[in-house]
Amino acid sequence: MPARPPAYRQRELLIQAGFELAEKLSPAQLTAGTLARRAGLAARSLTLQFGGLERYAETLQAIHYEETRRETLAAVHGLAPGAARILRATQAYFDFAFNRRGLRAWLSELRARSPAMQLQWRMDNQLYAQFLATELALCGWPHPVAGARLYIAGVLELVRDEQRENRRLPAARRALERFLNTHVRPSAAVGAAVTP
C-alpha cells in the first residue's frame, strides 16, 4: 500500500485536480469526493486539508487570479506604456480566461454564495483598475479612474459572453478596442485590430 503523501502535497494534488476537472465536468459534478478521487486521495481528504469545498474554492480562486495576473504581465513584458500595451494585456487576459472558462463558470457559481470569494474578486478587479488607471492616464484619458472601471466592466462582460457562447467573439473584442481608442491621444492609439 503506497504511503499517504504529506499534507502540502495532498493540497497540491487536490488543487491540480480542480484545475483539470473544472474544464471537463459541469459544476454540479464537482464534488469533494470527485476531486479527491481524481487526486488519487481518500474521499475525505479535501475536507481534512481545506476544511470544506468553500475554503478549497477560495484557495483555487486565489491561485487562478495570481496565475492570470502573471500571464497577463508576461504578455506585455518590455512594452512601453500606451494603448498597444493595454490591448496586448487585454488579449492575454481574454485568452487565458477563455482557456479556463470551465473553472471560471464553476468559481462564479460558488462565489455567489461565498462573501470571502466575493471580496477576493472585488480586490482583484480593484488591483487591475489601479494598474489600468495609471496606463490610461499615460494615454491621455480625460477621466482615467472612471475609464479604468468602465473598461474592466467591459472586459468582464466580454469574458462572461465568451464563456457562455463557448467561443471567442472577435467583434466584441473590436468593440472594446474601439472604446479604448476613443479616448487615447492619437499618438498612443492603435489602429490595427488585436483580434486574430
Partner 1 sequence: MQQAVRSQAEALLEAGLRLSRRVPLARVTTAVIATEAGLPSIRFFDAYPDLSSYLIDLYQRHFLLPVRQRLEQILSGAPPGLERTRAATQAYLDFCLKQRGLRRWTIDARQWPEFDAAYNRASQGIQTLAEGELQGLGFRNPAGAARLFAAMVYEIALVEVEEGHEHYALRQCLWRLLGFRDRPLLQFAPREAVREPPAPTTTATPRQRLLRAGEALLRDHGGQPEALKLEALLARADVDRDGFAAAFGDLQAFELALIQSWTEQFMATCLAASQGLPPGTERLHAFLTAAWDCNLHEQRGQRMLMKALLRTDPELRARILTRVQGFTRIVAMEFQALGLASPQALARLFVAASTELVEAEETAAVPLPRLRETFWQWFDPLTAGARPAPQRSRELRARPEVAQTSFLTMQIGEVPGTGRHRRRSAEARAALRQRLLEAGDRLLLTGARLEAFSANRLALLAGVEAEDFSDCYGGWDDYLAALFGFLLDEVRDITVEATAHMNPGIPRMWRGIEAYLDARLDRPVIHELSRRLQGHAEALRLSRGRSAAFVRIFATEFRSAGWQDAEACGHLMTALVSETVQAEYEAGRRLPEYRNTLRNFLERG
Interface mask toward partner 1 for 135-154; x: CB under 8 A:
-------xx-xxx-xx--xx
Q: State which amino acid sits at residue 49.
A: Q
Residue 192 interacts with partner 1 (CB under 8 A)?
Answer: no
Rank residues 32 and 169 by Cβ distance to partner 1 and give the closer one: 169
Distance of CA 191 to the CA centre of its chain: 27
Rank residues 62 and 179 by Cβ distance to partner 1 and give the closer one: 179
Rank residues 69 and 149 by Cβ distance to partner 1 and give the closer one: 149
Size of the site for partner 1 (CB under 8 A): 24
Residue 158 interacts with partner 1 (CB under 8 A)?
Answer: yes
Q: How far is the CB of 192 from partner 1 (least distance, A)?
A: 15
Q: How far is the CB of 126 from partner 1 (least distance, A)?
A: 13
What's the Cα-to-Cα distance from 112 to each of 7, 46, 76, 119, rounded to whole Å? 29, 21, 32, 11
Q: How far is the CB of 61 from partner 1 (least distance, A)?
A: 18
58, 12, 56: which is closest to 31 by C-alpha? Answer: 56
Q: What gap in Å lies between CA 92 and CA 135, rounded to an integer? A: 16
What's the Cα-to-Cα distance from 164 to each of 46, 76, 101, 102, rounded to whole Å? 29, 27, 9, 10
Residues 152-187, buried b or exposed e (16+ Cβ, 10 A)? bebbeebbeebbeeeeebeebbeebbeebbebbeee
105-134 binders of partner 1 (CB under 8 A): 112
Rank residues 63 and 175 by Cβ distance to partner 1 and give the closer one: 175
**How is residue 81 annotated by DSSP?**
S
Q: Are 143 and 132 in contact (CB under 8 A)?
A: no
Residue 190 interacts with partner 1 (CB under 8 A)?
Answer: no
CA atoms in the 13 A half-sphere facing the CB of 89: 26
The region of 64-72, 75-83, 96-104, 178-186 touching partner 1 under the rule CB under 8 A is: 178-186
Rank residues 102 and 147 by Cβ distance to partner 1 and give the closer one: 147
Residues that bind partner 1 (CB under 8 A): 112, 142-143, 145-147, 149-150, 153-154, 156-158, 161, 169, 171-172, 174-176, 178-179, 182-183
